[in-house]
Chain A
């Protein structure tokens, strides 16, 4: 497995700071007064029930959604003030992968990965779908790293879900990002593929030094992979700490087990192991 290129080593390392970040949709506050500092190289898991604001939080950081209040800073750069070209370069720097992969089914896998290079392309080369040999080399190396080089010329839509998610990770990798945002990357995958995708994210974090911020809805995955766990409820951060601080009481608080006498973590698990009742 190839290490990240040397450019990564000289890349400045900045802290991602969210302060007072909020987003209102109609009358609902999807994200409410979130303050977080994420140090470079961390592997952060964001947990919480559906609708807690996890997706919106990630989309705010990538600026797919604009905040209604608060700021995002990356080092000295104010992300929330970016526009036009600078905004697109920010999006390139914080790559995003999605629950539904968001690939173009009718394009081949290689072109889908090359989409990660578009931020550096002008209008004409984009309209002609032209990429340089060097870019193709980067893309095929990224695919090879995720064991998908043989599928490079296949249409993305013909791949399995797990393969598609790895194509999406390859696309994110060729962006040469500093941060990788993953929005429920394993929610649509079976346990085996979920493990491969999470392992790929871990390798990107450890070997390439890329900060990873991942939304998860399975607690044991969060415990297994994340240096730090942030829990959200109704748009607010309820918990911020390491896995072992996440006690049963805290979990019940986060998920607000309405009427549930007991909360069974194993029910939501996607890990590749059999559940043995106690």
Chain B
């Protein structure tokens, strides 16, 4: 192979490239070290290296690292939740396992309805606020700042805390649950929708503005058609999340299956726990499956 003398421009490139390589290696090394230190510090702070006392089989006490010490107890707990089922009496065993199925079916329906209503309210609020909360669409910086902070507060406070507040103000029952989940969902969806809004192509909006369109018309004709597939996708995803939330929110008295969880835990009805878990697991699985199908259909459709 013939070698040509390198031109000064190529030589300059080689030098600059070597410098860039050294620099990126150094950055990688330093950031890995920093991450490792922070991670170990966090693990220490969260008791990952704690030593705890355990009772051995012969009754003596010994010291063990917390993770191997706790694992058998986890197994023990889960074992207690397994119902006694046998082939000969399977029907009656299952009936005994789901002994309170009438109550649970009603509460399951309530759980799904809470999730549904909360999703409707959350979507409506999040959708409306996502436009003033998008950097590229907001009519002015003040509106942007206020809507963003409002959405942040709505989603930063966990549903359970909102539920506690609403149960206190409006009494025990599903309405408090709907409001709690709706508020949190509005905050979360408003954020997701506004990020979708920030990724749109602004040229169609310019075209509408140049035709004499108002801000609302630019949003309706220019932005909404672009973000609609994303919005539908996020909405269905949020419905799935809301079903999970509404199944636990009864823990603080805000309706749905959660109250049964609480009863089962406090009365140590282990097989009730597993029965409730099976009910929620199957429900969430079915809703996930259905909404995924729906999502793909919507994405394929020419919606506006």
Interface residues of A (CB under 8 A from B): 62, 64, 88-92, 95-96, 98, 100-108, 111, 115-116, 118-119, 121, 123, 126-127, 129, 155, 168, 171-172, 175
Contacts and interface: CB of A to CB of B under 8 A. Distances in A.
Contacts of B222: 104
B213 A115 contact: yes
Contacts of A168: 207
A175 B212 contact: yes
Contacts of B247: none
A121 B225 contact: no
A95 B207 CA distance: 10
Contact of A89 (B204, B212, B226): B212
Interface residues of B, number: 22
B302 interface: yes
A91 B207 contact: no
B220 interface: yes
A95 B211 CA distance: 6
Nearest to B225: A106
Contacts of A98: 203, 206-207, 210
Interface in B205-239: 206-214, 216-217, 220-222, 225-226, 228
A123 B219 CA distance: 11
A-B pairs, top 8 by smallest CB distance, nearest first, are: A119-B212, A102-B207, A92-B212, A96-B210, A88-B212, A91-B212, A106-B225, A104-B204
19 contacts: A90-B212, A91-B209, A98-B207, A101-B207, A104-B225, A107-B221, A111-B221, A115-B208, A118-B208, A118-B211, A118-B212, A119-B212, A119-B213, A123-B214, A123-B216, A126-B216, A126-B217, A127-B220, A172-B211
Contacts, number: 91
B304 interface: yes
Given A126-B216, A127-B216, A127-B220, A105 B210 contact: no
Nearest to A174: B211
A8 to B, nearest CB: 18
Contacts of A127: 216, 220
Nearest to B203: A102
Nearest to B228: A106
A20 B206 CA distance: 26
